[in-house]
Structure 1
Amino acid sequence: MMLRKSNWHPADIIAALRKRGTTLAAISREAGLSSSTLANALSRPWPKGEWIIANFLGIHPSEIWPSRYYDPMTGDLLERKVREKPKKIEETNELENREPEKEHI
């Protein structure tokens, strides 16, 4: 049987940030997010937010949220990545607004 580590309590995450002289709201704003956005990572899986918090604390997110990063059956570390941003709206509009090619008869 595997020894399972439990996720950090949200208050422990907030306390760790405070010990480093900052707040969850402050690092959220530094990341270009709304001040309350990173709080989502405390209550539900969100790789982007988890990585922002973990990087600030200087650890891997799996240390904070082992249940989100380890396979419960095998104990193997899961690869969880931040999704790529979708194409910019301007790029999409440029493609849509371009004149259609004329047919050669």
Structure 2
Amino acid sequence: MEKNNWHHADIIAALHKANTTLAALSRQHGLRSSTLANALSRPWPKGEWLIADRLSIHPSVIWPGRYYGKDGVLKERKARIVRKNI
């Protein structure tokens, strides 16, 4: 049984229900307002995690096609987060 990724409109609606937008979430994390929209159309683990964290779910719930292999096993996909030394 293959699960489909959420539709872009469903992700945006879920963020609205969580009282935010893609643009606001992008700016909150120091990104340009349109940057997180990239995660809707192409794989980008960091963006996927930022969106999923705001919705309090694992990114594999939103994008099962990106997180599960053909064998149904969860792939290891970690966000590359650059940490600055303060």
Normalised to the residue count of structure 2, the TM-score between the two structures is 0.92
- Higher RCO (CA 8 Å, separation ≥ 6 residues): 2
1:82 pairs with 67, 70, 79, which one? 79
> Which consecutive residues of structure 1, in runs of 5 or more, have no partner in the other structure?
89-105
1:43 alignment counterpart = 41
User: Considering only CA atoms, is the larger Rg found in Structure 1 or Structure 2?
Assistant: 1
Counterpart residue type for residue 81 of structure 1: K
Shift of 1:85: 2.8
Distance 1:56 1:84, change over 3 A: closer
> Which consecutive residues of structure 2, in runs of 5 or more, have no partner in the other structure?
none
1:54 alignment counterpart = 52
Shift of 1:17: 0.4
Distance 1:24 1:84, change over 3 A: closer
1:66 pairs with 64, 67, 74, which one? 64
Percent identity (aligned): 68
Instruction: Output one character per residue of 1:12-60: Cα deviation in whole Å (capped at 9) or x when no partner.
Output: 0000001111111000100110000000000000000000000000000
Superposed CA RMSD in Å reads 1.6
Rounded to whole Å, the distance in 1 between the matches of 2:81 and 2:51 is: 19
Counterpart residue type for residue 66 of structure 1: P
